[in-house]
Amino acid sequence: MEIIARRWLQVQQILGLTPANFRRLLALCDTPEALLHMSSDLQFRFGISASHRQQLEKQLAMPHHGVDDELSRANAEVLCLHDDDYPALLKEIHDPPPILYFRGRRELLSQLSFAVVGSRRPSRMGRSDAQAFASALGQAGFTTVSGMALGVDAAAHIGALATPSSTIAVLGTGVDQCYPRSNAGLYQQIGLEGLLLSEFPPGSPPLRHQFPRRNRIISGLSLGVLVVEAAIHSGSLITARQALEQNREVFAIPGSIHNPASRGCNALIKQGAKLVETLADIVEEFSEWAGRDVIEALVGQALEPGVVSQVYDALGYEPQSVDEILKHCGQSVDVVLAELSQLEVEGWVEQQRGGWQRSR
């Protein structure tokens, strides 16, 4: 089927169709050759001039060397909306990409997928939760989908790569472009062990308007979306809104009212997203796929934060004095001060003028 996809890519390159017009053309024609037999009225509607016809007849009669060379240079493969292994859930959304470029494990496109998204600047706990939930989802049989951004996205990919279900990174660039550069090692690993996916042709740079568009693919591929940490105005909330429009389930991890990175999640929960404390909160919604034995094994399993500490538990997102911390944790002054120093070194807490608090 990839040969057909490459021929459709030839058509797109010759005609320069918008994605919407390309989808309409695919709905009318089963093969690229069929468009040459469309009525003149239809050809006019799609902007197919006499010159275009000549180019199409010439190119479709020849091997697709230009397309082959382009994909070979990018080490990429291509998938068309007509292909049998085009992701079924993505095909259901109102504006599925007519062409998908990818690098890596093609079979992941047919696996059950779940999206994990969130802040580019998460707290240490947020990063830990993203990695832990993605790992647990992978063990439950879900491929984790995210956008390979800094922060939560990267942590989710890392957690999922440690499982057989692996991960799909949906890019806002061509699949041959690593963005951000600091994720170069992760990009290489996903290309080998997971899947890099984009609707943008190889060589496409990281343009601002492309990232909101890729978010609909993240949610469209997935049965549901988990938002780990997010500000009120963030790309993660765009993904959540698109998920709702696509009739997908939305989940969110609640957080402190004093933590700015939790406000988006708390707002989603107020609007009807399911509050998540454990993996069971997610898996129970998809029992027909996960299986009762998996759910029973997961019920009651809380994902612990990266730090289990009485001192840390005594803190919030507003400064507290050492005396106040002592009242809550029942430790000696020496133990509390030593533990606060260690937590500060690890980035979990910070000292402010009024005392100690969790890192924002």
Q: What is the pLDDT of residue 300?
A: 41
Mean of pLDDT over the chain? 87
Give me the pLDDT at residue 88, please: 93
pLDDT tens-digit map of 233-271: 888 999 999 999 999 999 999 988 888 888 999 999 999
pLDDT above 90 (res 109): yes
- pLDDT of 357 higher than 50: yes
Q: What was the pLDDT predicted at 327?
A: 84
CA distance 56 to 54: 5
Main-chain phi, psi angles of 352, to 5 degrees: -115, 175
Confidence bin at 166 (pLDDT 50/70/90)? very high
Name the pLDDT band for 291 (thresholds 50, 70, 90).
low
Collapsing DSSP to helix, strand or coil, 234 comes out as coil
Region at 198 (left for phi over 0; alpha for psi -120 to 50; beta for the rest)? beta
310-358: what fold? Arc Repressor Mutant, subunit A (1.10.10)
Confirm or reject CATH 3.40.50.720 for domain 106-298, answering yes or no.
no
How far apart are the C-alpha atoms of 90 and 108, rounded to whole Å? 13
Confidence of residue 338 (pLDDT cuts 50, 70, 90): confident
- Residue identified by tokens 């990009």 is 187
Nearest Cα neighbor of 238 from 207, 266, 259, 217 is: 217
pLDDT in tens, 50-91: 888 888 887 777 766 678 888 989 999 999 998 889 999 999
User: pLDDT digits over 211-231, tens only?
Assistant: 999 999 999 999 999 999 998
Whether residue 311 contacts residue 332, with contact meaning beta carbons closer than 8 Å, is answered with: no
Q: How confident is the model at residue 302 (pLDDT cuts 50, 70, 90)?
A: very low
The radius of gyration computed from the CA coordinates of the chain, to the nearest angstrom, equals 24
Neighbouring-strand partners of residue 350: 357
Question: pLDDT value at position 15?
Answer: 86
Tell me the pairing of strands 224-227 and 113-117.
Answer: parallel
Angle between helices 152-161 and 184-193 (to 10 degrees): 40
With a pLDDT cut of 70, the percent of the chain lying above it is 92
Quote the pLDDT of residue 174: 97
The pLDDT value given to residue 341? 81
pLDDT score of 299: 43
**pLDDT tier, 196 (very low <50, low <70, confident <90, very high otherwise):** very high
Determine the pLDDT at residue 107.
Answer: 96
Phi, psi at 48, each rounded to 5°: -90, 105
Q: Please determine, for residue 308, whether its predicted confidence score (pLDDT) is greater than 60.
A: no
Cα pseudo-dihedral 208, 212, 214, 220, rounded to 10:
180
Position 143 scores a pLDDT of 96
Q: Among candidates 166, 159, 190, which has minimal Cα distance to 113? A: 166
154 — phi, psi (to 5°)?
Answer: -60, -45
pLDDT at residue 301 in the model: 44
Annotated domain spans of the chain: 2-73, 106-298, 310-358
**What type of residue sits at position 80?**
C
Global confidence as pTM: 0.80
Q: How far apart are CA 185 and CA 166, in angstroms?
A: 16
Segment among 76-85, 133-142, 193-202, 320-329 with least mean pLDDT: 320-329
Three-class SS of residue 205?
Answer: coil
Q: Give the residue-averaged pLDDT of 148-177.
A: 96
